[in-house]
Amino acid sequence: MSLSGKTVVITGASKGIGAAAAYEFADAGANVVLMARSGEAIAEIARKIGDKALAVPCDVSRYGEVSAGIDAARKAFGSVDVLINNAGVIDPIGPLAESDPKDWGHSIDINLKGVYNGIRAVLPQMLAAKSGTILNVSSGAAHGPMEGWSAYCTGKAAVAMLTRATHLEGSEAGLRVMGLSPGTVATEMQVKIKASGINPVSKLEVSDHIPADWPAKALVWMCSAEADPHLGQEISLRDEGIRTAVGLLND
């Protein structure tokens, strides 16, 4: 699919992978709708991109706000062709036995229910149009437990299943659904992880993490027919074959 003139909605677009993806998709010719709680940050990114960008302040844990954001995207650009479910939090970090139930539940509200909310808001229109791409940003934590990350691992594991379920229900109608596990990325989240001192990931150095534009470029590539063999699956940027296909090995 050519992204020229297509509309891409990105959650968690104020920083990190989401912000990098906004620039990459805009460079590919797409209209970009940035959704995040930080209204000032996404407004600044939208200003830099120009007329083909729209900033929509939104808390993904609240379905009404997500649905209203999708409606705003359609009103501005006519349709939503691609949804990037990127918003996520690492907190709370700490032992499960000492976890705060409210904080643990809020992590699930963002990392899992936030993804559901995005899918639920775009799915009826995409099914009716028999066209659309949904990409869920996942994590290696979805497939292996990490000490201190019980909420994060659980939410991401559930998103991996949600990706498969959405593909099962949407593929016959022509929807393209995939997950992306980017590995460790040099974002603000890694600063929190480093400060926690919990589990091996916190011991990594900044140089061990990939730049945010790598997963951003991968998300653009996942909108192309080249990625179709991976529909319904979660691809990993730790896979050298995927990096080669995206064109990252020489970066």
Region 228-251: mean pLDDT is 88
Which residues are registered as beta bridge partners of 86? none
Residue 85, amino acid: N
Give the up-direction half-sphere exposure of residue 125: CA atoms within 13 A in the CB hemisphere: 19
Q: Please state, rounded to an integer, the average pLDDT across all residues of the chain.
A: 92
Would you mind telling me the total number of residues written for the chain in this entry? 251
Spell out where 110-233 has E strands.
132-137, 175-181
Q: How many helices (H) and strands (E) does the chain have?
A: 9, 7
Query: What is the structure's pLDDT at 190?
Result: 66
| Active site residues per annotation | 152
Domain ranges of the chain: 7-246
Q: Identify the band that residue 238 occupies on the pLDDT scale cut at 50, 70 and 90.
A: confident
Query: What is the structure's pLDDT at 251?
Result: 45
- For residue range 89-130, list pLDDT tens digits in order: 989 999 999 999 999 999 999 999 999 999 999 999 999 999
- For residue range 129-188, list pLDDT tens digits in order: 999 999 999 988 899 888 898 999 999 999 999 999 999 999 999 999 999 998 666 566
CATH 3.40.50.720 holds for 7-246: yes
pLDDT of 240 over the 70 cut: yes
Pairing assessment for the beta strands 234-236 and 53-57 based on DSSP bridges: unpaired
60 or 1, higher pLDDT: 60
